[in-house]
């Protein structure tokens, strides 16, 4: 007898690993292999392509601590969050570091058998008949939150798990990402801790760009690629859990229009089930029909308001400027052929199109390069786009779409309307 599942447990967005999770040899095996090498690991790819599920499927909860990054954090905030995840209670102090910043006081309470360090404010004492160094009920450190050596000591004293997972690393300010890339080298050389950095980008060398010394110390796992066989397994495997069958033509049509997006496949299957009145495992097997192309369009159209907002805000850039470079970067994206957008638009094409169509007679290439380098920062820190839509791959020198639902949505839009939306006359 089949175990009963709801359609929302199987298809759509889930907080847990979906029961129709598909193991991809080139992704899952690569991650397992990386975990054995005592190196830092970067899991990257487009949004909603299975980065978090890969981590949850492979690692047990007790194997790691996890921190979800914020777009407002400096390095000290990130380090402090790591200590909190390790079990410390953290508060500020009035003691200055050598750099002029304030130190923090980090304390672990509750049965941690470690040597006494510093003074406790109301912590436990020693049990009668035992040595204090073996029975103290807390552990206090005063440390510099910018000093990676202090953070390593704190994690070691807390007996933290080997792996530290940093989710949504791409939301951190770029300067914080660069600072932490420097800290990662120290974590590798001076401790046994390995970081699993999870971020939305396609560039496998992102961390080594920030710190060349990470070469050989970081392994990148790209989860972005889903071939059609794997996507079909997601749909068919989920259907079996619900004791249904999708029409084979529907599955082929769906996968062919989803542009390698597992999220779109999951959402479209959910909509097909809802339309057929299937909300859980069926007592008798039945066939569920569906129009794959129409359901894909329905899925991405639900994000129309978000994408329209992204286009108008991104076009405005950080502030009003004469060249309005971000508006013209969008011009390149909107006017490019769909296949070119999917592959990533190369820098020579971007510079050529901008210089040919921009009303200014001469555009300095440095202005284009600077705008491209700040695409992610604009979305994260200024206009608050979540998930981000565009990112510039500095290694491959390509402007890439990192939200695959935007790729599909773009294919269904009228270009003249999009140009009007970003504030450019169609005849330009």
Q: Assign residue 65 the CATH number of its domain.
A: 3.40.50.300
Q: How far is CA 226 from CA 74, 338, 391, 409, in A?
A: 35, 18, 20, 19
Residue pLDDT, tens place only, 109-121: 654 443 333 333 3
User: Based on the domain organization, do 339 and 403 belong to the same domain?
Assistant: yes
Question: Would you say residue 235 lies in a domain?
Answer: no
Structure tokens that stand for 352 in this block: 């050529």
pLDDT more than 90, % of the chain = 79
Number of domains in the chain: 4
User: Based on the domain organization, do 281 and 318 belong to the same domain?
Assistant: no
Residue-wise pLDDT tens for the chain (428 aa)? 567 899 999 998 888 899 999 999 999 999 999 999 999 999 999 999 999 999 999 999 999 999 999 999 999 999 999 999 999 998 877 677 767 677 888 888 654 443 333 333 333 333 433 333 343 345 688 888 999 999 999 999 999 999 999 999 999 999 999 999 999 999 999 999 999 999 999 999 999 999 999 999 999 999 998 999 999 999 999 999 999 999 989 999 999 999 999 999 999 999 999 999 999 999 999 999 999 999 999 999 999 999 999 999 999 999 988 999 999 999 999 999 999 999 999 999 999 999 999 998 788 999 999 999 999 999 998 898 888 999 999 889 999 999 999 999 999 999 999 999 999 986 65
User: Based on the domain organization, do 114 and 209 belong to the same domain?
Assistant: no
User: Based on the domain organization, do 297 and 310 belong to the same domain?
Assistant: no
Question: Would you say residue 231 lies in a domain?
Answer: no
Q: What is the pLDDT of residue 185?
A: 95
Residue pLDDT, tens place only, 144-197: 899 999 999 999 999 999 999 999 999 999 999 999 999 999 999 999 999 999
CB 424 within 8 A of CB 357: no
User: Based on the domain organization, do 66 and 138 belong to the same domain?
Assistant: no
User: Based on the domain organization, do 105 and 207 belong to the same domain?
Assistant: no
User: Based on the domain organization, do 32 and 179 belong to the same domain?
Assistant: yes
Identify the domain containing residue 39 by its residue range: 25-79+160-225
Residue pLDDT, tens place only, 294-331: 999 999 999 999 999 999 999 999 998 899 999 999 99
User: Based on the domain organization, do 265 and 167 belong to the same domain?
Assistant: no
- For 131-284, where are the E strands, in sequence order? 138-143, 163-167, 194-200, 218-222, 244-246
User: Based on the domain organization, do 65 and 92 belong to the same domain?
Assistant: no
- Residue 66's DSSP bridge partners are 165
CA distance 241 to 1: 11
């Amino acid at each position: 007898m089949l175990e009963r599942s709801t359609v929302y447990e199987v298809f759509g967005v889930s907080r847990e690993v979906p029961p129709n999770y598909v193991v991809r040899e080139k992704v899952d095996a690569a991650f397992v292999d990386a975990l054995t090498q005592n190196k830092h690991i970067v899991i990257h790819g487009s949004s909603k392509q299975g980065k978090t599920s890969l981590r949850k499927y492979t690692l047990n909860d007790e194997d790691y601590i996890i921190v979800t990054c914020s777009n407002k954090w400096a390095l000290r905030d990130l380090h402090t969050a790591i200590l909190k995840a390790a079990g410390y209670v953290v508060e500020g102090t009035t003691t200055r570091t050598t750099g002029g910043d304030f130190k923090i006081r980090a304390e672990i309470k509750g049965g941690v058998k470690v040597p006494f360090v510093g003074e406790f404010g109301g912590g436990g004492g020693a049990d009668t008949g035992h040595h204090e160094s073996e029975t103290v009920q807390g552990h206090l450190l005063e440390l510099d939150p910018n000093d990676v050596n202090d953070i390593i000591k704190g994690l070691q004293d807390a007996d933290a798990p080997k792996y530290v997972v940093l989710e949504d690393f791409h939301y951190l300010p770029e300067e914080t990402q660069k600072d932490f890339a420097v800290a990662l080298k120290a974590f590798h050389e001076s401790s046994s801790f390995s970081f699993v950095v999870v971020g939305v980008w396609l560039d496998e060398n992102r961390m080594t760009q920030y710190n060349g010394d990470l070469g050989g110390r970081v392994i990148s796992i790209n989860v972005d690629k889903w071939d059609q066989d794997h996507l079909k397994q997601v749909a068919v495997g989920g259907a079996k859990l619900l004791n249904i069958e999708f029409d084979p033509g529907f599955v082929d049509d769906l996968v062919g229009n989803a542009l390698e997006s597992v999220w779109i496949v999951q959402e479209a299957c959910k909509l097909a089930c809802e339309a057929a009145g299937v909300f859980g495992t069926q007592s008798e097997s039945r066939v569920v029909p569906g129009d794959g192309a129409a359901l894909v369009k329905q899925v991405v159209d639900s994000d129309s308001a978000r994408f329209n907002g992204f286009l108008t805000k991104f076009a405005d850039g950080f502030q009003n400027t004469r060249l309005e470079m971000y508006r013209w970067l969008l011009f390149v994206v909107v006017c490019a052929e769909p296949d070119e957008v999917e592959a990533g638009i190369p820098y020579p094409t971007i510079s050529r199109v901008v210089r040919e169509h921009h009303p200014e007679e001469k555009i300095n290439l440095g202005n284009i390069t600077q705008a491209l380098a700040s695409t992610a920062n604009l979305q994260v820190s200024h206009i608050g786009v979540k998930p981000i839509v565009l990112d510039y791959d500095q290694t491959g020198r390509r402007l890439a779409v990192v939200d695959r639902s935007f790729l599909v949505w773009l294919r269904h839009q009228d270009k003249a309307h999009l140009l009007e939306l970003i504030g450019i006359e169609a005849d330009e």
